[in-house]
Amino acid sequence: MDAQDAELADVVVILADPLPLRLEEAVEQLRGAGLTVDDVDAENGAIEGTTQVGLIKPIQSMPFVKYVRKVFEYTAEPPSPDPSDDESPESDGK
């Protein structure tokens, strides 16, 4: 695995009940902790998103989080360089 690869996980964050802060504040704090939020289910106190695997435990330890369920884990490779971005002189075949 290259150093640039990222270990990511799709997760569901279950919020504490009762929630000790506004839902919008909880979402912003989760984003600040490294969660890319995909969906907020206010009725069930669940937030779906993606984060680096190494950030799951810090998110779990937030005071308004009941638990974090990892749904899917994967390695994301960086995108391949775009050949059109190559600025090196090319031979014209002559």
Is 31 strand, coil or helix?
helix
66, part of any domain: yes
88, part of any domain: no
Domain count, the chain: 1
Convert 38-50 to b/e letters by CB count within 10 Å (16 or more is b). eebeeeebebbbb
How many Å is the Cα radius of gyration of the chain? Answer: 19
In order along its 94 residues, the chain shows pLDDT tens digits of 445 788 999 999 999 999 999 999 999 999 999 999 999 999 999 999 999 999 999 999 999 999 999 999 999 887 777 666 656 555 555 5
91, part of any domain: no
Is the peptide bond prior to 18 cis by the omega test (within 30 degrees of 0)? yes
Structure tokens at 67: 């638990």
**pTM of the shown model:** 0.78
- Domain that residue 69 falls in: 6-74
pLDDT (0 to 100) of residue 2: 46
56, part of any domain: yes
CATH of the domain at 49: 3.30.70.250
92, part of any domain: no
